[in-house]
Amino acid sequence: MSHLKLVQKRSKFMVSRPSWERETVLYNRILKKQKEAEFQRKADKKDKKNKASVQSDKVTIVVKKYEPEDFRKIIQFIHSGSVDINSSCVAGLLCGASQFGLDDLERACWDFVNHSVKSGTISKVIPAAKRYSHHKTGQRLLEKIFSETQQSVEL
C-alpha cells in the first residue's frame, strides 16, 4: 500500500512520502548503482587483461537526458520525499519518475496532467512535454495532450 500524500495548493501539486519509504528507495538505488559499478569494473578488468586497473569507490553517473532544474527536483524528491509540481517541470519529473521507478511521483505527475486537462491549462505543459519527446514517457504525455485537446503538437 502506498503512503503517498498529494496536496494541491493554488494549482501547484506537491507530493510527499514518509521518510522511511524514501530511505528504502534511496538505499535500493545506491545498492543497484554499486552492483552496476562492480559489474562494470569486472568487465573492464577482463577487457584490459594484463594491464593494472585502478580501483575507485567513486561512482559517476552522467545525466544528459534531463534539464538541470528538473533533475534537481527528482533528486529533491528522492532526498526529501516532496517536490512542487508545476507545468514547466511536470514532463521532466514524469520522465524521471518513470525511468527511476518512482511510482508515487509518476502517479502525482499524471494527476497533475489530468488536473491541467480538466482546468483547461494543459497548453502550459506542451513546451515542457516537447523537451522530453525523446523519452518514451514524454511521447505518451504528448499523445495524451493531443488526444485530450484534439490539437496537433508539433515537435
- Reported as a single tens digit per residue, the pLDDT across 16-75 is 656 656 677 777 777 788 788 887 877 776 665 444 444 567 777 767 789 989 999 999
Residue identified by cell 518514451 is 136
Would you give the distance in Å from CA 5 to the centre of its chain? 18
Distance from the first to the final alpha carbon of the chain: 38
Nearest to 99 by CA among 76, 118, 71, 121: 71
Query: Does residue 129 contact residue 25 with C-beta atoms inside 8 Å?
Result: no
pLDDT at 151 over 90: no
Nearest to 90 by CA among 48, 43, 126, 144: 126
User: In this structure, what DSSP letter does residue 135 have?
Assistant: S
Of 3-17, 72-86, 127-141, the range with the lowest mean pLDDT is 3-17
- pLDDT of the residue at 52: 43
Q: How far apart are CA 128 and CA 122, in angstroms?
A: 11
Dihedral sign, CA of 86, 89, 91, 96?
Answer: negative
Task: Report the share of the chain in percent with pLDDT over 90.
Answer: 43
pLDDT at 141 over 80: yes
Q: What is the pLDDT of residues 74-126, one digit of tens each?
A: 999 999 989 999 999 999 999 999 998 999 999 999 999 999 999 989 989 99
- pLDDT of the residue at 97: 93
> Highest mean pLDDT range out of 12-16, 90-94, 149-153?
90-94
Q: How far apart are CA 36 and CA 84, in angstroms?
A: 31
